[in-house]
Chains A and B, each alone.
Chain A
Amino acid sequence: MEELISEKTGSEKTGSEKIVIVVGNRHNPHAHHIKLEGTVRIGRALSSDVILSDEHVEPLQLVIYQQEGAYKVQVMSGVNPVLRNGEEVPAGIYDFVSGDEWSMGRTALQAFYESHVAEPTERLPMKEYRGGMLAQIGVFVATLLTLLCVILLVNWMGDYEPLQWNKKIAATLTDTNIVLVFMWATLWGVIGRVVAGRNQFIIHFVLASLFVFADILNITITGYLSYGTRYDLVWDAVYYIVIAVSVTLLLYSAFFYTFGFRRTKMIALMASILFSGFYYVDSILEDNELEPSFNYLLKPPFAILVEPQSLEQFRVTLDEVFAEVDEFAQ
């Protein structure tokens, strides 16, 4: 413990000691180990000592150099912030502390004194690894089965024709939701493989399935509330809001897993607003004002959550209808 404390006190080390820079990214933080001494220039420029292939990093982003026998770190100003141990640091000169993690763009690096004691060798967690794969496959199968069951149940609840289970199961397997979930997971799986070098199919499959569950719940619950109460417009609005929120979450999680944290929220929100906007415009364009438009839902008796009107009260409704027509005519 004492040794560790002393290592973090940069000024106590002599400038002749070499430093080790561990360069990587979020997904592979220990990709390269570089041992250097003297002044070390880190950046995107080819003239750097550590050349980072990251377009979000400045040509010269960090300089580690010796001064009066101690290493210092100079942070250069740039478009994107530089973080030390997760906290943003402005441009300037800082003491070198062995083990500090520096993040810039999509690159993370850690700098140590050469004498920094390495951790003991770890045993490869072979069993745990196999278990992880099995767990992932288990999650995938469980999600798929749940999704199929939910869709089958929804189809069955709405089907009044003679039951033909083989056709019903075939229809469920080719249901638009299932197809879209697979397409979504495949697309992001490919993007994940290319961008992050990891297989992300299952996580995106689970996320898309959660979105479908939310959508089905949303349609069902707001449908019943819109039908059985006097606040049908409110529940229609809630329906669209829930769609926007769930789309945001889906996109946010997709960007998060594939591209990392930065600006993901904003991108997801923008995409979701765009999506909701298109959805709304599309619904307006589909409206034919020459066709009667009303809530066409019908539900079993338990769904009626209001006291029915008398016929006398219904006369007022008729008056309202004609008053609105007369307004249209003007």
Chain B
Amino acid sequence: MILYRQLLFLLTLGLFSAVIMAGEFSEKLFAQHRSSVFQIRLMEVSTQQRAALGSGFCVGPTGFIATNYHVISESVYEKSRYRIVAIDDFGGEHVMRLRAVDVIHDLALLELPESADSLPCHALPLATRQLHQGEAVLSLGNPLDIGMMVVEGQYNGLVRDARFDQMIFSGNINAGMSGGPAIDRNGELVGINVASRGNGIGYLVPAAFLGHLLEDLPVQRQRNLVEVVGAQLLAEQDRFYSALLLQEWKTQDFFDLRVPDAIDSTIKCWGDSNDRKDRRYESSRIECSGSNSIYVLNNKYTGSIEYLYGWIESLDLNRFQLYSQVEDTNGFGSYSFADTDNSWNKDEVTPFSCKTSFVESGRGTWRLVYCARGYRDFPGLYDAGLLMVSVDHNDKNLSAEMTATGISKDHAKKLTEQFIRSVTWKN
């Protein structure tokens, strides 16, 4: 009993010491690096009011601050309408220039104009070592515009099966901390705050991508950043779809057909079916979608892929009723480019062009609708969608829908054809 009490005392003491040490660690590092962290304000010129808020930190050559692309994205497209201001820990305001962006990994580099006073900070060194899961990480930033803060958390590995590498941070990243640094116990930059899913789960951009952006800085300084964004989007979709179209697609049985399953590790599928007792038809649905989209502007995303299947089999519907059901529920009537973000406006995207055909494929006849639209700022990038509905049975029906956004013409056509070929009746 005495031994047990001694052990309990030691354990409590150990935990208490660990908490004290962790507190000291964050206190020391915060004091050491807080001057390197800034609040980033995107100011709307005509009203002189903030349009977006985030955080940033000194990095690389003197006079450079890194932040998230999504904090300053509007200024890429409307340079004269916005001004970027970095607020230091002492309240000093520094007007910055946007110099380089990485739209895929959500990073941006701001530069202090040469004529301005130097920034009162030292650049955070990029970590070169590999972090271990569970290792302590400090996230810094200015959440909710209430002041500079430090958040303790742990590194919990990379997000599994993601299209773009992101680190999982077990700590509370809040709005306004976007673009702030995440540092290890050595004070080295391991990641950049980028997103939060609530409940203590946050995401960091690995510092290595910031390293790549710093390397790309001399090239981007010479270029129009809208073109840079377009080129990055094109290159990313090329990397993703080239691999996707080369690999063998996994298929699965879906009632009387075989259909593509999750065709890539980054794509997840979900299923559902109709279980009403008084139902007049059996119906099931599978929905698959990619795990990542790319933020472009004003809460508009691109780079998604999604496909879904709806199966209907009549219990006592006649042929007219069956096709009414398909038309209203699974078919063309419900087709809204589910994953196409329709908040894009007509200055940003072209109208849709759509064509409808009957096509023989996969031992059946299909009614196909194919639609596409283009991005005005990013020539060569399109949103494309296919809807295929079987039209050769009176008592059963499959509808399949596939949408890809931010895709090149060639990849869209190949993806469409491969998808159609992969949907086949078993008999």
Chain A residues with a Cβ under 8 A of chain B: 157-163, 232, 289-301, 304, 306, 308-311, 313-315, 317-322, 324-326, 328-329
Q: Which of B342-362 contact A (CB under 8 A)?
A: 342, 344-346, 349-361
Would you call B356 and A158 a contact (CB within 8 A)? no
Given A158-B321, A311-B417, check contact A290 B358 (CB 8 Å): no
**Minimum distance in angstroms from B387 CB to a CB of chain A:** 9
1/0 contact string of B400-416 vs chain A (CB within 8 Å): 00000000010011001
The distance in angstroms between the C-alpha atoms of A289 and B355, with both chains bound, is: 15
**CB contact under 8 A between A293 and B321, given known A162-B280, A318-B413, A322-B372:** no
User: How many Å lie between the Cα of A325 and that of B382 in the bound state?
Assistant: 9
26 intermolecular pairs with C-beta atoms under 8 Å apart:
A158-B320, A160-B325, A160-B328, A162-B276, A289-B351, A290-B345, A294-B354, A301-B393, A308-B357, A308-B360, A308-B366, A309-B357, A311-B421, A314-B357, A319-B413, A320-B355, A321-B355, A321-B372, A322-B353, A322-B382, A325-B374, A325-B382, A326-B374, A328-B373, A329-B374, A329-B376
Chain A residues with CB under 8 Å of B281's CB are 160
Residue of B nearest to A330 (CB): B350
Question: A154 to nearest B CB, angstroms?
Answer: 10
* Cβ < 8 Å to A, chain B residues 43-59: none
Is B421 touching A290 in the complex (CB atoms < 8 A)? no
Q: Are A321 and B365 in contact (CB under 8 A)?
A: no
B contacts with A, residue count (CB < 8 A): 66
Is B76 in contact with chain A by the CB < 8 A criterion?
A: no
Known: A157-B324, A298-B326. A232 touches B354 (CB 8 A): no
7 A-B pairs with the lowest CB-CB distances in the bound complex, closest first: A296-B332, A328-B350, A160-B325, A324-B353, A308-B358, A300-B319, A294-B354
Q: How far is the CA of A157 from the CA of B421 in the complex (A)?
A: 33
Contact present for B346 and A290 (CB under 8 Å): yes
How far is A314 from B413 in the complex, measured between Cα atoms in Å?
10
Q: Is A298 touching B368 in the complex (CB atoms < 8 A)?
A: no
Q: Chain A residues with Cβ under 8 A from B342's Cβ?
A: 290-291
Q: Which residue numbers of B lie inside 8 Å of A, CB to CB?
A: 276, 278-281, 317-328, 331-333, 335-337, 342, 344-346, 349-361, 365-374, 376, 379, 382, 385, 389, 391-394, 409, 412-413, 416-417, 420-421
Q: How far is the CA of A300 from the CA of B194 in the complex (A)?
A: 50
Pairwise interchain contact B391-A298, C-beta atoms closer than 8 A: yes
Main SS of the interface on chain B? mixed
Q: How far does the Cβ of A227 sit from chain B's closest Cβ, in whole Å?
A: 8
Partner of B358, one of A296, A309, A324, A325: A309
Interface centre among A158, A299, A308, A319 (most CB of B within 10 A): A308
Q: Which residues of B contact A289 (CB under 8 A)?
A: 346, 351-352
Contact B394 A297 (CB under 8 A): no
- Closest Cβ of chain A: how far from B344's Cβ, in Å? 7
Assembled-state Cα–Cα distance A321/B279 (Å) = 39
Task: Select the residue from B281, B361, B391, B416 with max chain A CB neighbours within 10 A.
Answer: B391
B373 nearest in chain A by CB position: A325
Residue of A nearest to B324 (CB): A158
Whether the Cβ atoms of B350 and A325 lie closer than 8 Å is yes
- Closest-by-CB residue of B relative to A318 is B413
The reply to whether B359 and A315 contact each other, CB–CB distance below 8 Å, is no
Chain B: minimal CB distance from A287 (Å): 10
Is B359 in contact with A310, judged by CB distance below 8 angstroms? yes
- Asked if A157 and B320 make an inter-chain contact with CB atoms under 8 angstroms apart, the answer reads yes
With A290-B342, A291-B352, A321-B372 as contacts: A298 and B393 at CB distance below 8 Å = no
Q: In the complex, what residues of A have CB within 8 A of residue B332's CB?
A: 294-298
User: How far apart are A152's CB and chain B's nearest CB, in angstroms?
Assistant: 14
Q: Is B331 touching A298 in the complex (CB atoms < 8 A)?
A: yes
A324 CB to nearest chain B CB (Å): 4
Which residue of A is nearest B367, CB measured? Answer: A298
CB-CB under 8 A from B346, the residues of chain A are 289-290
A160, A293, A306 pick with most chain B CB within 10 angstroms: A160
A236 CA to B367 CA, complexed, in Å: 19
B359 contacts across to A, CB distance below 8 A: 308-311, 313-314
Q: Verify B356–A315 contact, CB threshold 8 A.
A: no
CB of B152, distance to nearest CB on chain A (Å): 45
| Contact call B327/A297, Cβ cutoff below 8 A | yes
Among A161, A290, A301, the residue within 8 A (CB) of B349 is A290
Q: CB-CB < 8 A to A324: which residues of B?
A: 353
Name B369's closest neighbour in chain A (CB-CB).
Answer: A294
CB pair A162 B322 closer than 8 Å: no
With beta carbons under 8 angstroms apart, the residue of B349, B361, B370, B376 that contacts A317 is B370
Q: Which residues of B contact A290 (CB under 8 A)?
A: 342, 344-346, 349, 351-352
Residues of A within 8 A of B323 (CB): 298-300
B186 to chain A, nearest CB (A): 50
User: B413 to A315, Cβ gap below 8 A?
Assistant: yes
Taking a contact as CB atoms under 8 Å apart, the answer to whether A160 and B356 are in contact is: no
- Minimum C-beta distance from A168 to chain B (A): 13
Contacts of A298 in B (CB 8 A): 323, 326-327, 331-332, 367, 389, 391
Query: A295–B389 Cα gap in the complex (Å)?
Result: 13
Whether B335 lies near A309 (C-beta < 8 A) is: no
Partner of A159, one of B321, B326, B349, B366: B321
Q: A294-B371, A304-B358, A317-B355 are in contact. Are A160 and B382 (CB under 8 A)?
A: no
Residues of B within 8 Å of A313, CB to CB, are 359
For residue A299, which residue of chain B has the nearest CB? Answer: B323
> Which single residue of chain A is at the shortest CB-CB distance from B375?
A329
A300 and B322 alpha carbons, distance in the complex (Å): 8
Q: Say yes or no: A315-B317 contact (C-beta < 8 A), given A298-B326, A310-B360.
A: no
Given contact pairs A292-B385, A321-B371, A329 touches B350 in the complex (Cβ within 8 A): yes
A315-B331 contact given A300-B323, A308-B359, A328-B374, CB 8 Å threshold: no
How far in angstroms is the closest Cβ of chain B from A82?
Answer: 59
Tell me which of B280, B325, B359, B393 has the highest count of chain A C-beta atoms within 10 A of its own C-beta: B359
Interfacial chain A residues near B360, Cβ < 8 Å: 308-311
Q: How far is the CB of A219 from chain B (nearest CB, A)?
A: 14
Contacts of B374 in A (CB 8 A): 325-326, 328-329
In the complex, are the beta carbons of B370 and A321 less than 8 A apart? Answer: yes
| CA distance in complex: A307, B361 (Å) | 13
The residue in chain A whose Cβ has the minimal distance to the Cβ of B416 is A318
Which single residue of chain A is at the shortest CB-CB distance from B366?
A308
